[in-house]
Amino acid sequence: MRAVTWHGKRDVRVDTVPDPTIDDATDAIVRITSTGLCGSDLHLYELFGPLMDEGDILGHEPMGVVEEVGPGVTQLRPGDRVVVPFNVSCGTCWMCSSGLHSQCETTQVRSEGSGAALFGYTKLYGQVPGGQAEYLRVPFGDTLPIVVPEGPPDDRFVYLSDVLPTAWQAVRYADVPEGGSLVVLGLGPIGDMCTRIARHLGVADVIGVDLVPERLDRARGRGVQVIDLNAHGRELGDVVRGLTGGRGADAVIDAVGMEAHGSPVGALAHRMVGLLPDALAAPLMKTAGVDRMAALHAAIDLVRRGGTISISGVYGGAADPMPLLTMFDKQIQLRMGQANVRRWVPEILPLLVDDDPLGVDGFATHRMPLESAPEAYATFQRKQDGMVKTLLKPGLR
């Protein structure tokens, strides 16, 4: 089969690799029809080389059609249309039963001290072959795949793999009070969807912050008040407080994470680690990594006293400096974590079957053949061509 594989920093290729096989009685093989390109994939493209091996298959936002199931699968059958969550969760352990699928006790990567394994990610998360491919082996066939109806195009459902539950959890964790205000930092795919979900759930004032004109226009077009960092970066806190009665926002979602602009120390640390041999860089990233923290520091400034910060943007550093005095003094509540995909599906799926209140049908800005993945990664990394969300289509020529 053809698959998107990692070969080094800013070097992804589409290679011919062996087809996946049924390795366990509860496995399923899914023929991929759509698979997303995620901001988290850019971390692998740019930063996490020491934790990757050449030839690793990327991607964690797939959907498709079941081709084959193992003898232990009873609830899924060939021909079923499914979305595959990005966390590899069993659905039956204590953590999964508690709605914490990203901490699944069956797939926790204990050798690295990490939570549940993830499709298409680093050694920290199990190095499981990903879904930017023509076929994918999916474990836990009865409890992991999400069966979706026939009829609507893939765009209606594919975001159940990551974007929708990640954004839904971020908004739920933000816990905006009735009549309150929410600032979303970063209007990439997750931040954009956070603004849509927040408005759908009735948040009174939703403010989006970014510096890419196309992203600002996209959010503004759906009724979100936007702030352009290019014009207001230095006085962002004052602008937000001016819009929120002088107190600051009731809640802030950091949908940016480790690659925030305006973080020279973190950027330098990333470059320095990237120059080291993998044998030295990998343990350094695990024990002494420093992220670009501008977005999180901005969130701490923007949120009101007693407010909540919800982090959906990925951070990877183990030695990040945090302004704990300010956080303690402001009595900030902080919530974060990988999305527990399966937990939120019952709340989200009804919004995708009939109407389209979240605008998922038109959410993708680009649809490209799987073979065009290297071009898609490069364009997305440079924030060019108005690219916000790309779907790769293995069957598209």
pTM of the model: 0.91
Per-residue pLDDT of the chain (397 residues; tens, 9 = 90+): 999 999 999 999 999 999 999 999 999 999 999 999 998 899 899 877 788 999 999 999 999 999 999 999 999 999 999 999 999 999 999 999 999 999 999 999 999 999 999 999 989 999 999 999 999 999 999 999 999 999 999 999 999 999 999 999 999 999 999 999 999 999 999 999 999 999 999 999 999 999 999 999 999 999 999 999 999 988 999 999 999 999 999 999 999 976 644 444 444 444 545 555 555 455 545 544 555 678 899 999 999 999 999 999 877 665 567 888 998 999 999 999 999 999 999 999 999 988 899 999 999 999 999 999 999 999 999 989 999 999 999 988 7
**CATH code of the domain covering residue 271:** 3.40.50.720
Residues 331 and 344 in one domain: no
Cα 335 from Cα 126, distance rounded (Å): 24
Which of 168, 238, 177 has its CA nearest to residue 202?
177
| Domain boundary, last residue among 288, 313, 336 | 336
Q: Are residues 214 and 345 in the same domain?
A: no
Helix (H) or strand (E) holding 196: helix 189-200
Instruction: Say whether both 157 and 284 belong to one domain.
Output: no
Residues 6+ apart with CB under 8 A from 30: 62, 64, 65, 66, 67, 82, 84, 135, 136, 138, 145
| Residues of the domain holding 44 | 2-162+340-393
The C-alpha atoms of residue 296 and residue 302 are separated, in whole angstroms, by 10
**Cα 39–Cα 43–Cα 49 angle in degrees, nearest 5:** 155
Q: Are residues 144 and 274 in the same domain?
A: no
- Give the number of domains in the chain: 2
Which pLDDT score, from 0 to 100, does residue 99 have? 97
Query: What is the predicted pLDDT for the residue at 274?
Result: 53
Per-residue model confidence (pLDDT) at position 318: 57
Residues 150 and 187 in one domain: no
Q: Is residue 352 within 8 Å of 360, Cβ to Cβ?
A: yes
Distance of alpha carbon 129 from alpha carbon 80, whole angstroms:
21
